Amino acid sequence: MSGGAFAALAACSQTPATLDATPQANTSATPAKASGWMDGTAMAAAIASGETTSLDQVNAAIARAKSVNGQINAIATEIYETARAEAGNTPAGPFQGVPTFIKDLHDWKGAPTQYGSRAFKGHMPDSDAPLPAKWRAEGVVVLGKSTSPEMGLMASTEPLVTGETCNPWDTTRIVGGSSGGAAALVAARVVPFAHASDGGGSIRIPASTCGVFGLKPSRGQLPAHAGENPPIDISVQHAVTISVRDSVNLFRDTQSNDGTFAPLATNLQPLKRRLKIGFTTDAFAGSVVAPETRAALDDVAALCEQLGHEIVPYAPTYSGQEFVDKFLLYWAAGAAEFAQQASAYTGKPVGPDIVEPWTLGLTQMFMSRRDEMESTLAWLKGFESVYDADLADQGVDILLTPTTGSPAVKLGEQAPTVPFDTLYERVITFAAFTAPMNVSGAASMSVPLSWSPSGLPIGSMFSGKRGDDQLLFELALELEAARPWAEKMPGVVAL
């Protein structure tokens, strides 16, 4: 889930031993180039050295997109001819010439922004959103927009405007949401990385279901949106990737550097110090967690112990049920505001012909409980200190939990047309772990370390406090070296 309503309205086949300061460096440790696959860091270096050209890479990515999109339906809008014209002519940034996609919730000048909604079909922005603007300066070539549920309000990408996006690992399953199209395109190896955003789990959930890497930055680390901040700033933007180093390099080159946080180190290494990791497979609000998810996380906890980390039991001291209730009321306020914007844009009253049933249900939920908003905002504003104290009092450095309550569920189970009460329960059961890190502003990541017996990816979520982004990246590099995932590819793959 993205939380984008508030913002819109107010690889390598083995891990390199070191991570150099610029994406052009240290490309010798990318043997996957021989098989025709490169992560973005290696691709940028190959373009810069003249080994290949941006146009060649753009054309190859377009061919890959065409070869698989009929099976996964992950592209909301194509701008292929624009991309071909821009190849070789983008700014001389660290990812100059590398093809990618921007999420449909966020503006890229030259491509429509539909917000995953029928109401905004064909809407053309006149400028880039703040983080995409940073990506433009990095020199990327955008091939189009990736699919998203309506205004990022769902944990599955099945919007009525573009239709369901299917999981490359099993096309009868969901990709998660709301950065679902982005994760599917990266998992299928169409592009090495794609733009993503996260207001309630929208980077980490699809990263988990699609078997890719996704870090949700701390609040304020990267540009999120223009204009006045929403009452609770839950939504951030970054990327989904195959290699950890692509995520690191994209993060470093777009970091705000406004003095709030130290700049990311220029040569990150796998983590050297050992951590005390709080571990649970229980959902915070008590919903059911699938047996294969529990088993996978038990195995990852054992891996962390083998690496020398200390694993200790964790249970939140705050009420998970109270958190979910207050978070979803705030979420519903965003849906109601989006519905009003859709009405203003179309000139039609709020109703099922312009917004989806799930959005309408959330809007009605907000309208029936709007007198609770003042106390809800106060509670949520105080949650960062509650979350931080929870970790400190239990003496843990970071948390290890599942990313989702189960592997990817069947398409249709979380479609926006499912009756509201049924869908509400399904959403909070599936998206059971991610939202506390959005409200607290904490750094959090889903790492693709496990697969179910039937072959579905299961992400492990590691979460710190606000500002722990570098710590998580260092841990991710260690885990990537210990259990590489880049060679594991889905059945629908564009190579």
Going by C-alpha positions, the residue among 307, 429, 324 that lies closest to residue 376 is 324
Q: Dihedrals φ, ψ of 249, to 5°? A: -65, -40
Beta strands 398-402 and 276-279: pairing type? parallel
Going by C-alpha positions, the residue among 352, 328, 330, 431 that lies closest to residue 150 is 352
Cα–Cα distance for residue pair 82/78, rounded to 1 Å: 9
Q: Residue 24 CA to chain centroid, in angstroms?
A: 25
**Tokens (6 digits) for 238:** 């970054």
**Sheet with strand 276-279: strands edge to edge:** 193-198, 236-241, 213-216, 444-451, 457-463, 398-402, 276-279, 310-313
Q: Which amino acid is at 134?
A: K
SS3 342: helix
What's the Cα-to-Cα distance from 439 to each of 148, 201, 446, rounded to whole Å? 21, 11, 17
Cα–Cα distance for residue pair 362/340, rounded to 1 Å: 13
Q: Answer yes or no: are the C-beta atoms of 360 and 413 closer than 8 Å.
A: no
Positions marked active-site: 103, 178, 202
Beta strands 141-146 and 75-78: pairing type? antiparallel
Sign of the Cα torsion 219, 223, 229, 233 reads negative
Residue entry with tokens 């109601």: 336
Tell the burial category of 226 from Cβ atoms under 10 Å away from its Cβ (0-12, 13-18, 19+): middle
Helix (H) or strand (E) holding 193: strand 193-198
